[in-house]
Amino acid sequence: MEARTAMVRRRRQPADWKSLLGGLPAGNGPLEYRKNRNIFRQGDPADCVFYLRRGRVHLGVTSGQGKEAIVAAVSGGEFFGEGCLAGQPLRMATATATCVCILFKIEKPLMARLLHEHHEASEMFVAYLLSRSIRFEEDLLDQMFNSSERRLARILLLLARYGSEPRSEIIVPRINQERLAQMVGITRSRVSHFMSKFKKLGFIDYKGPELTINNGLLGLVLNG
């Protein structure tokens, strides 16, 4: 019985990404990217996966007419650029560091070997991809059916990773309103209008380079 319990505990032990990535060959990381630096550009060869250990990265797409939109935000502890594992030959978006970032660059063959040799890592990576897919579906529904005010509120909560920490107020790096406009799909002036409204209602507050988000903003998303 004790042996079986110990076996279950070993199976449930999460993958130690820090140890796995720390043993990667030189050149894979950790790498540091300064704020506003591009990690890869739309159209570049898709030949590696990135693991963001610390910081925040935005994925943006530019249309043939030059229109830009931010399609995803990546936070510490998440992967990006994983499309190469599914045969994607070129990058579909541009990845830009929005603050100082520490990340690992994992070449496609090496990532495939890690997932093949480490069962716990493979399970964790699949779970991550499923959660990312669900979030993209939610983003699509949000864009189709919710007002721009509620979409902005939801983006702010996602950026704050609401629910990951039991706090009524979460402090995040202050984000440029132009970037918020690209993520929500509205003009910068509309973002400024809604942000002022949120501040008056006590949902957010500015403290120098930081933005405080109160969980009361969730009520607007759920009931607004």
Mean pLDDT in residue range 95-108:
92
Q: How high is the pLDDT of residue 14?
A: 46
Please tell me the distance from the alpha carbon of residue 174 to that of residue 100, in angstroms, as a whole number: 13
Residues 145-180 have pLDDT tens digits of 678 888 888 888 877 776 555 566 777 777 888 888
Q: How high is the pLDDT of residue 47?
A: 94
All structural domains of the chain: 2-142 (2.60.120.10), 146-223 (1.10.10.10)
Q: How high is the pLDDT of residue 16?
A: 63
Q: How high is the pLDDT of residue 11?
A: 40
**215 three-class SS:** coil
Whether the full predicted model's pTM is greater than 0.95, yes or no, is no
Contact between residue 98 and residue 58 where contact means Cβ atoms under 8 Å apart:
yes
Q: Average pLDDT, whole number, for the chain?
A: 81
Q: pLDDT class for 3, splitting at 50, 70, 90?
A: very low
* C-alpha 14, offset from chain centre: 20
Residues 73-98 have pLDDT tens digits of 888 888 999 999 988 999 999 999 98
Q: How high is the pLDDT of residue 13?
A: 46
pLDDT at 33 over 70: yes
